[in-house]
Amino acid sequence: MPSKCIALFSGGLDSIIACHLLKQQGIEVIALHFVLPFDHGIKSKLDIIISFANQLGARLIIQQDGEDFTDMLKNPSFGFGKHANPCIDCRIRRLKKTKEIMSAEGAQFIATGEVVGQRPMSQRRDSLNIIEKHAGLLGYLLRPLSAGLLKPTVAEQERLVNRELLLSIQGRGRKEQLAYAARFGLASFPPAGGCLLTKESAAAKVVDLKASCPDFTFSDIQLLSIGRHFRIMSTTRFIVARDEPENSLLEKFILPGDYRFDMVGALGPVGLGRGIAEDEESIQFCCRILARYCKARCDSHASVSVTHNNRSVVYSITPASPADCDSRKI
Ligand code: SF4
């Protein structure tokens, strides 16, 4: 019977090479793809992930990041990276889930596309050890791209994997990975994509959320990638959709207690107000911001419908100036 492993599978080049190296040895690889809470409307992305798994002949499992993401983002034990990315905690959390899947699938080990020294936070040599230890996977976590530089894992010691056929890549360069992909004709996502939390714009939103709403929920995290965000009062966040697909998406996240804003008599974005303490000043300011982003913008007058707890009121307002919007933008 061939050896079996679960491989974390982002669709990035490193994860694809890790799977390919193992498949080349005849190992059964189950590719495990995690979907971040703020990755919405990504059917097309998932279709690509499926095609990447197919090119490798790997069975694919798709796992949605759940509510536990919220607690992690509130208080990561190992802190944040350059922006709002709690990468070490995130890897540990995901690997704990992967360990459960490994048991359920009867796999013998877990593989990742991690490369020693490639990422400043989660792929330093000491971080790799911390992650492995805290995920309860000592000896069971194989990094095929850097295996030659690391202590042999149980799978290598027991000859489930031929260590000699694995790689010894380290550092931030991608020359060797690109050469490998070209040699075997492997497609992957471009490196620039990736997780929203590693981006400066998201960091500002997370910092704002933690400061103004320490009890933020999973829904608040899901909203991080949607629309333009504004801080109106200390507790009020206002989100304006940027286009038609975001209008539909934002509508799905309107919870009981939230305020919904729609232009009246003109095409425009949907707005979502959260944490509004029923004060007229905040509501009208949200209306004014919404009108600023209306397609048929009128600088002197606009009407906005505000719906809260199944009751709608129409406000007649003057759109906010660009400077007013900028001053509240997160
Ligand atoms: S980049 Fe994002 S998804 Fe990846 S480990 Fe860091 S926080 Fe998690």
pLDDT, one tens digit for every residue, the chain (330 residues): 789 999 999 999 999 999 999 999 999 999 999 999 998 865 688 999 999 999 999 999 999 999 999 999 999 999 999 999 999 999 999 999 999 999 999 999 999 999 999 987 778 889 999 999 999 999 999 999 999 999 999 999 999 999 999 999 999 999 999 999 999 999 998 876 678 999 998 889 999 999 999 999 999 999 999 999 999 988 899 999 999 999 999 999 999 999 999 999 988 999 999 998 878 999 999 999 999 998 766 668 899 999 999 999 999 999 999 999 999 999
| Structural domain count, the chain | 2
Closest residue (by CA) to atom 3 of ligand 1? Answer: 195
Residue 95 lies inside a defined structural domain of this protein: yes
Q: How far is CA 322 from CA 25, 41, 293, 325, 329, in A?
A: 59, 29, 10, 5, 10
Closest-CA residue to 66 (of 34, 43, 112, 41):
34
Ligand 1 pocket, residue 292 CB under 6 Å:
no
Residue 234 lies inside a defined structural domain of this protein: yes
Burial class (CB in 10 A: 0-12, 13-18, 19+), 311: exposed
pTM recorded for the entire structure: 0.91
Are the CB atoms for 52 and 188 separated by under 8 Å?
yes
Whether 131 and 235 share a structural domain: no
Residue 172 lies inside a defined structural domain of this protein: yes
Residue 125 lies inside a defined structural domain of this protein: yes
Give the span between the Cα atoms of 316 and 310, in whole angstroms.
Answer: 20
Whether 28 and 152 share a structural domain: yes
Residue 198 lies inside a defined structural domain of this protein: no
Ligand 1 pocket, residue 206 CB under 6 Å:
no
Atom of ligand 1 nearest to the CA of 85: 7
Ligand 1 pocket, residue 35 CB under 6 Å:
no
Ligand 1 site-directed mutation target among 9, 34, 122, 131, most atoms within 8 Å of CB: 122
Tell me which of 131, 156, 184 is where a domain ends.
184
Are the CB atoms for 278 and 329 separated by under 8 Å?
no
Ligand 1 pocket, residue 90 CB under 6 Å:
yes
Atom of ligand 1 nearest to the CA of 196: 2
CA of 67 to the centre of ligand 1 (A): 15
Whether 77 and 150 share a structural domain: yes
Atom of ligand 1 nearest to the CA of 195: 2
Residue 218 lies inside a defined structural domain of this protein: no
Whether 173 and 239 share a structural domain: no
CA of 87 to the centre of ligand 1 (A): 5
Atom of ligand 1 nearest to the CA of 81: 6
Residue 77 lies inside a defined structural domain of this protein: yes
Residue 210 lies inside a defined structural domain of this protein: no
Whether 169 and 244 share a structural domain: no
Which structural domain, as residue segments, surrounds residue 254?
226-328
Whether 15 and 80 share a structural domain: yes
